[in-house]
């Protein structure tokens, strides 16, 4: 399931994030990739260490808070755990990330493990300011090529081969992170998302009724059946 979440960041937050990232120090993105991914990764990442640590922390908090307050993010991801967001930059000679699959398990801190059920990319640069840089994700019947307005988030299944096309003008800035979901199976999560969205629409149109209350019960009972807390 691919879900676009428009305006995850407010216009003010987006401006702040862009300003901070323009002044930030960047390091080789290959440092945080493993195995096959490392060989095809040619971008830069925000340096989260030393004097740069407060900048990274402030930006992480901003993105996490924005995701947590957005009802569509909760409904689509059913997050159990969200890995602290990271930030990357594609420009100049470090401008692409070839085909790869993200690691299934990440280590938020020493001794902790989480499964990457969903990948998230928050686009932070105005698409008019750069050429290329599409996120291309394997799908049936063919790959999806995605480039969203600044401040918009894409949630996609963590198990797909994907790449970022070379940026040929300007700079592509983004935040990326992974979500371990309460509901591991993509099919079950999608059914819950569709049920939840349609229930919201029903309620908007007709208010509550015995039927919406009954279906809300079905939603929660399916979640009870499938969720691992």
CB 41 within 8 A of CB 99: no
17, 139, 120, 114: which is closest to 72 by C-alpha?
A: 120
Residues at the interface with Ni ion (CB under 5 A): 102
Instruction: Give 89 or 192: the residue with its C-beta nearer to Ni ion.
Output: 89
Q: To the nearest whole angstrom, how small is the minimum distance from the Cβ of residue 57 to Ni ion?
A: 23
CA distance 58 to 54: 6
Q: How many helices (H) and strands (E) does the chain have?
A: 6, 17
Instruction: Give 102 or 159: the residue with its C-beta nearer to Ni ion.
Output: 102
CA distance 63 to 84: 9
Q: To the nearest whole angstrom, how small is the minimum distance from the Cβ of residue 34 to Ni ion?
A: 11
CB 130 within 8 A of CB 166: no
Instruction: Give 177 or 193: the residue with its C-beta nearer to Ni ion.
Output: 177
Q: Looking at beta carbons, which residue is closest to Ni ion?
A: 102
Q: To the nearest whole angstrom, how small is the minimum distance from the Cβ of residue 216 to Ni ion?
A: 36
* Token reading at 52: 């740069």
Q: To the nearest whole angstrom, how small is the minimum distance from the Cβ of residue 214 to Ni ion?
A: 41
CA distance 138 to 145: 9
Instruction: Give 121 or 181: the residue with its C-beta nearer to Ni ion.
Output: 121
Instruction: Give 162 or 192: the residue with its C-beta nearer to Ni ion.
Output: 162
Q: To the nearest whole angstrom, how small is the minimum distance from the Cβ of residue 217 to Ni ion?
A: 38
Instruction: Give 27 or 101: the residue with its C-beta nearer to Ni ion.
Output: 101
CA distance 108 to 128: 34
Taken in order 29, 31, 58, 177, is the CA torsion positive or negative?
positive
Q: To the nearest whole angstrom, how small is the minimum distance from the Cβ of residue 26 to Ni ion?
A: 18
């Amino acid at each position: 399931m691919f879900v676009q979440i428009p305006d995850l960041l407010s216009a003010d937050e987006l401006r702040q994030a862009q300003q901070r990232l323009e002044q930030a120090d960047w390091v080789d993105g290959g440092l945080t990739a493993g195995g096959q991914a490392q060989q095809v990764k040619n971008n830069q990442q925000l340096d989260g260490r030393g004097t740069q640590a407060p900048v990274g922390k402030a930006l992480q908090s901003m993105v996490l808070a924005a995701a947590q307050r957005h009802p569509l993010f909760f409904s689509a991801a059913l997050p159990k755990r969200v890995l602290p967001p990271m930030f990357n930059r594609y420009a100049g000679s470090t401008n692409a990330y070839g085909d790869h699959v993200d690691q299934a398990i990440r280590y938020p801190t020493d001794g902790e493990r989480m499964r990457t059920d969903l990948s998230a990319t928050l686009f932070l640069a105005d698409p008019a300011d750069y050429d290329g840089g599409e996120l291309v994700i394997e799908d049936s019947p063919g790959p999806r090529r995605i480039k969203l307005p600044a401040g918009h988030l894409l949630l996609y299944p963590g198990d797909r081969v994907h790449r970022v096309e070379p940026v040929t003008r300007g700079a592509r800035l983004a935040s990326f992170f992974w979500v371990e979901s309460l509901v591991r199976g993509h099919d079950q999560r999608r059914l819950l998302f569709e049920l939840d969205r349609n229930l919201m629409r029903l309620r908007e149109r007709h208010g509550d009724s015995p039927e919406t209350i009954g279906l809300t019960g079905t939603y929660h009972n399916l979640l009870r059946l499938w969720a691992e807390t």
